[in-house]
Amino acid sequence: MKILEKLERSSGFWFLLASSGIFFILRFPSLFEPNWYGDEGVYQALSFAMRNGRLLYQGIWDNKPPLLYLIYEVLGSDQFFIRLASLIFGVVAIILFFNLSRKIFSFRTSAVVTSIFVLLLGLPILEGNIANAENFMLLPTIASAFIIVSLRDTQDKARQFKNTLLIFLSGFLLSLSFLFKIVAIFDFGAFLFLLFFMDANLIKHLKNKKYQTYEVKKLLFYIFGFLLLPVLIALFFLVKGAFPYFINATFFSNIGYVGYGNSFVIPQGLLILKITTLLAFSYFIFLKRKILGHAGVLALLWFSFSLFNAFFSQRPYTHYLLVLLPSFCILLGFLIENKKLRSLNIVLILVSLFLITKNFNFYEKILPYYGNFFSFISNNKSVSEYQRFFDRITPVDYELASFIKFNTKPQDYIFTWGNNAQIYKLTDRLPPGRYTVAYHITGSKTGITETESDLNSKKPKFIIIMPYMNYFPFKLTGYSRRIVIDEAYVYERTL
């Protein structure tokens, strides 16, 4: 028996080594991509501004919690190191996911679902190559799930105390995910339900006062673990006098963002319908928890909340699907190993895949993506041709950055009217105000007037109007056209 256990552990080690190696190879080209992706450009511009003394939200603006920007700041906004950090997070997430699946599945099933997880996370099909918040939040989320699945019911007080501490840690890990992106609140909800649903005799146990005390304590420690860091960060911005900026950016601006695509009969009508469906399905899982067992409850509950997560804002951004990966693979594992409610699981997967393919666009140039990289490193493509593969504007960004950096001093401001905030990082120059991209300016009620005031007071050395922008809402008094680079107009301050 011990020999078999050693062989199994050895098999797990070699499987993880091979899986990590494959993942590294799939992600390796991402380390050498040019600065081209709009969201990364915003994160780089924000973190660069933070390194230069601006306070997040008040001095430089975006609508996500602060942890992603802090990682970018620590790594100097350097895309290579940021992508490398994303890759390392991915490797650790794979290791944790495999160990999570081993808690509930056989080695063979765990190997199958982990392999699927590796491929979908490693390939650019879901934009896993981009260092978005989803890439970083997967690791603490999976770690939180691993802790909860590892818990065992017990009447022993010492073990109950240890369980309570572990549950606190689970909530704390989810708070890290939340501080990358607020949609982690749905993983928090899924695991909150899971803490109770895994007990097949919950109703009977709740009649026991000692058990009631234990359950309440678990709940409080889990919530406390989740709220601790967000509360401390809120206090930080409160002390800095920037709490209104913080709460507006991370909360109120996201209400409008979510409301945009969820209108159905009434404002947020579609969101209400989705919440109702989620709660009804959760109640169904609760009723069937004895039949489903721990694996089934985890798979169905986590997947349903993750599916809601992906569709929460009703926006078609591909990287939103990354939050589905762990629960989707766990659901596949449950489908492989269990006949219980198999028809329901198949229907759930097929309906989900239909909705996903109808609402999201997958990255389809998988082979050309790797072909572009190999052509570049083998000197069969020029730098500009390599850059143009990602976006036709990318070489223009680099030309603009080269011109601006050569013709400005480090203390000069520049202003770009476009959605390519990466120019601020490429030039190591700051924008005059809080906003780094045009859609943030036009999407804010005060964006235009605030930016106009910043332009008048800071007087940037250059104003760049990108060719895809239909209009420029500000006066160019005191500026004259200096150069046109591939239909991008560069105006220089003359007064």
Give the lowest-confidence range in 30-39, 58-67, 152-161: 152-161
Q: What share of the chain is helix, strand, coil (3-state, %, to 5)?
A: 70, 5, 25
| Residue partners of 100: CB distance under 8 A and separation at least 6 | 142, 145, 146, 149, 326, 330
Asked if 320 and 417 sit in the same domain, the reply is no
Asked if 354 and 404 sit in the same domain, the reply is no
pLDDT at residue 205, rounded to an integer: 56
Asked if 181 and 267 sit in the same domain, the reply is yes
CA 227 to chain centre: 19
Average pLDDT rounded to a whole number, residues 378-398: 96
Asked if 354 and 400 sit in the same domain, the reply is no
Cβ count within 10 A of residue 213? 11
Contact status, residue 146 vs residue 103, Cβ threshold 8 Å: yes
Average pLDDT rounded to a whole number, residues 198-221: 69
pLDDT at residue 185, rounded to an integer: 96
| Average pLDDT of the chain to the nearest whole number | 92
Asked if 399 and 460 sit in the same domain, the reply is yes
Contact status, residue 98 vs residue 12, Cβ threshold 8 Å: yes
pLDDT at residue 265, rounded to an integer: 60
pLDDT range class, residue 258, cuts 50, 70, 90: low
pLDDT range class, residue 211, cuts 50, 70, 90: low
Average pLDDT rounded to a whole number, residues 387-406: 97
pLDDT at residue 1, rounded to an integer: 52
Give tens-digit pLDDT for 265-313.
677 778 888 999 999 999 999 888 888 888 999 999 999 999 999 998 8
Asked if 113 and 9 sit in the same domain, the reply is yes
Percent of the residues in the chain that have a pLDDT greater than 70, as a whole number: 91
Give tens-digit pLDDT for 412-448.
999 999 999 999 999 999 999 999 999 999 999 999 9
Average pLDDT rounded to a whole number, residues 352-371: 94
Contact status, residue 86 vs residue 23, Cβ threshold 8 Å: no
pLDDT at residue 195, rounded to an integer: 86
Give tens-digit pLDDT for 150-173.
987 656 667 778 888 999 999 999
- Full-model pTM: 0.94
Average pLDDT rounded to a whole number, residues 182-194: 95
Q: Terminal CA-to-CA distance of the chain, rounded, Å?
A: 84
Asked if 325 and 443 sit in the same domain, the reply is no
Q: How many domains does the chain have?
A: 2
Give the lowest-confidence range in 225-234, 255-264, 365-374, 419-428: 255-264
pLDDT range class, residue 344, cuts 50, 70, 90: confident
Give 4 or 365, the one with higher predicted confidence: 365
Average pLDDT rounded to a whole number, residues 457-474: 96
Asked if 396 and 441 sit in the same domain, the reply is yes
pLDDT range class, residue 147, cuts 50, 70, 90: very high
Pick the closest to residue 122 from 89, 80, 77, 145 (CA basis): 89
pLDDT at residue 197, rounded to an integer: 82
124 SS3 class? helix
Q: Does a structural domain hold residue 458?
A: yes
Could you tell me the residue range of the domain that residue 347 belongs to? 2-32+63-359
Pick the closest to residue 306 from 282, 288, 289 (CA basis): 282
pLDDT at 201 over 60: no
pLDDT at residue 204, rounded to an integer: 54
Give tens-digit pLDDT for 94-137.
999 999 999 999 999 999 999 999 999 999 999 999 999 999 99
Cα–Cα dist 490/305, whole Å: 47
Asked if 434 and 294 sit in the same domain, the reply is no
Q: Does a structural domain hold residue 108?
A: yes
Asked if 475 and 333 sit in the same domain, the reply is no
Asked if 397 and 339 sit in the same domain, the reply is no
Give tens-digit pLDDT for 441-450.
999 999 999 9
Average pLDDT rounded to a whole number, residues 360-364: 93
pLDDT range class, residue 63, cuts 50, 70, 90: very high
Asked if 312 and 251 sit in the same domain, the reply is yes
